[in-house]
Amino acid sequence: MKSVVRHLINGLWDQEGSLSENVNPSNGDVICSFPIAEASTVNRAVSSARAASSAWANTPIPERVKAVESLIALIRDAYGTEGELTSIKRTIMDEIGKPLPEADIEVLEVADFMNYYADIASEVLHEKVVEINAAMWPTKRSTVTRKPYGVVAIIKPWNYPIEMIAWSLAPALLSGNTVVVKPSEKSPLSAYFLAQLIEKSSLPDGVVNFVFGDATTGQSLVRNPGIDYISFTGSVESGKHIAGAAARSLTPITLELGGNDPALVLADCDIDKTASGLVWGAFCNAGQVCVGIKRAYVVAAIYDQLLEAISARMNVLREGIDYGPIIDIKQLNSVEQFVDSIRQQDGTVRIGGKRGSRGYFYMPTLIEVKNESAAIFDQECFGPILPLIKVNSTDEAIRAANHGEFGLGASVWSKDLQEARIVADQLQCGMVWINDVNVAFPQAPWAGIKNSGVGFELSSQALHNYTYGQHLSVETNLVETRKPWWYPYGN
């Protein structure tokens, strides 16, 4: 049955705007209709967040924590237990096509990551004394207080439809901001599930608002003068547009953008583990992961062995069980074009290279690449494609890995952890995994450099992203009548 998605503005549901539909990418069935918010609706959402801003900023942190914890409890209820098919997981599976274990981990991480911020908010946001030079300034006292910016715009992609929202939502709210969330037009139903839990939680009306729509809705939001901070996750192209809009008003911004992550496979790697890791890292969420493995550099000494081990694992992957579909027809066409362009440049498709049996499925594809082309270096292929590139040395792998416009993540595969560390130190990107890939911890920053982003999400410091530090300097000597350096000069 088709669901109807509505905006959440000041605690009320509404459906202003023309209606669009979203389909299940596994079979093309329409699963929901959702409104495309125009500038006037966006404006109402921003005004609602603005009206709630002062009371929420002045709510003591422990009370903010309690309200966020009420949301976390609802998310945990919706999660159920590991492996259990609950409605929130079903929604993500229907809308994105994720297999159950991937929907499962997403919902679990949403609750866990939000909980991390609820646990640390009081300590991190607490007023801090600044140690100034007491000999020089014996009567001065300095502190820094973290103040919320005000209204935060949270604009997110579809590939982790609730997790990406939660990563920004928790620190933004706990640090005293109110928010307007603009989920992706490709995942309105999953985001609407989260909005419904928020509406049921004890977060006050207007503190969290959701406007649904497409890029035009996002544009209205970033251009709205009531926005004080922008948290964006999405493609490089959209990120550059948004950065341009933010520059006009000097609105502070975090940009988490695309990646083209290399895997560097060293001669002494554990072949079985590396093959399993590469296959999961490339095909999880059908390769539609910002830190998915998009190119693997394998030293010649073990190339054939690894190729065989990867092939064995790929040959048993099951459509709809181990891997999901591509999100829509446009993206499916773009994946096909990517594979064709590599084929034309001397790439050999060893496995896959064609559509699946239904919906927007594309088979996990292994391509041996002889001449590394610009497409491999500079294009983020958001699909289940693993290009394998033979290199003569680790140094050659490092040089190739650092080539190109992206700098999000990378993985290094070796049994020699010291050697792997030396390699990791030479990689120009925000995150490196050794003998693993695509793992996020709420305690550690999630960041990209070059075209992959500006700033970071996660870690305790994300609470600082959504606040500015106000330095308070107090003169405690109430007896003296003037400072020696004040007017008049020369006495």
Active site residues per annotation: 256, 290
Shortest Å, Cβ 304 to ligand NAD: 31
Q: Does 429 bind ligand NAD (CB under 6 A)?
A: no
The CA distance from 411 to 294, in Å, is 11
Shortest Å, Cβ 155 to ligand NAD: 5
Q: Which stretch binds ligand NAD (CB under 6 A): 24-32, 77-85, 181-189, 332-340?
A: 181-189
DSSP notation for 244-265? HHHHHHT--EEEE----EEEEE
Q: Computed over its alpha carbons, how large is the radius of gyration of the chain? A: 25
* Alpha-carbon torsion (408, 414, 415, 416), positive or negative: negative
Residue among 150 and 259 whose Cβ is closer to ligand NAD: 259
Shortest Å, Cβ 367 to ligand NAD: 20
Q: Show the tokens assigned to 55.
A: 């009371």
Binding positions for ligand NAD, 199-228, rule CB under 6 A: 214-215, 218-219, 222
Give the number of other Cβ atoms within 10 Å of residue 425's Cβ. 9
Q: Does 50 bind ligand NAD (CB under 6 A)?
A: no
Q: Does 182 bind ligand NAD (CB under 6 A)?
A: yes
The CA distance from 107 to 181, in Å, is 18
The CA distance from 383 to 293, in Å, is 10
Residue among 278 and 431 whose Cβ is closer to ligand NAD: 431
Q: In the set 22, 47, 115, 159, which binds ligand NAD (CB under 6 A)?
A: 159
Q: Does 154 bind ligand NAD (CB under 6 A)?
A: no
Peptide bond into 488 cis (omega under 30): yes
367, 356, 275: which is closest to 320 by C-alpha?
A: 356
The CA distance from 428 to 96, in Å, is 31
Binding mask 278-307 for ligand NAD (x = CB under 6 A): ------------x-----------------
Q: In the set 34, 79, 149, 158, which binds ligand NAD (CB under 6 A)?
A: 158
Shortest Å, Cβ 108 to ligand NAD: 18
Shortest Å, Cβ 1 to ligand NAD: 25
Q: Show the tokens assigned to 409.
A: 């993540």
Find out whether 76 and 109 touch, Cβ atoms under 8 Å: no
Q: Does 262 bind ligand NAD (CB under 6 A)?
A: no
Amino acid at 434: I
Binding residues vs ligand NAD (CB under 6 A)? 155-159, 164, 182, 184-185, 214-215, 218-219, 222, 233-235, 238, 241-242, 256-259, 290, 380, 382, 408, 446, 448, 453
